[in-house]
Amino acid sequence: MKPTSMHFIALCAVLGILDACSTTGPAYSSAPLRAPPMVQTAPQLRASDRMLYWIEEARELHTMATHREREAELVVKKQPGPETDEFVKQMRIFAHRLEKAAEYARVQAQEAEREIPPEMIMELQSALLMTR
């Protein structure tokens, strides 16, 4: 799909909102980041379910980060100049944040994996390979 000015406007709006949310600092809460409510309110989930959930989250977040980084590179190539520099900078910051979130998800998956018996891990790995 060829990018249009509407795509850039929408992306600018999303980046502006994300930037505003991140620059307000501890105005909302100074509490540390927590896991999404789904994981917090459902401790009864099996470790294997949690592991699979976090693995999928990590994949999706990494894909999104890679996509944003490539978009930033395309914008620089298509419209080089000072007017796009800030936009590209924000896109790269967003991509970096997505990578951090993906890393968090990977760590959560590893923690859940430690709770799973070794024989079940092999079954899960073969199931994961079949879904790719």
The tens digit of pLDDT for each residue in 2-59 reads 555 555 565 555 555 656 555 544 444 455 555 554 444 344 568 888 988 999 999 9
Is residue 65's pLDDT more than 90?
yes
For the chain, counts of helices (H) and of strands (E): 5, 0
- Nearest Cα to Cα of residue 97 among 1, 33, 39: 33
What is the pLDDT of the chain when averaged over all its residues? Answer: 77
User: Higher pLDDT residue, 72 or 121?
Assistant: 72
Q: Is the pTM of this model over 0.85?
A: no
Q: What H or E segment, with its residue span, contains residue 6?
A: helix 5-23
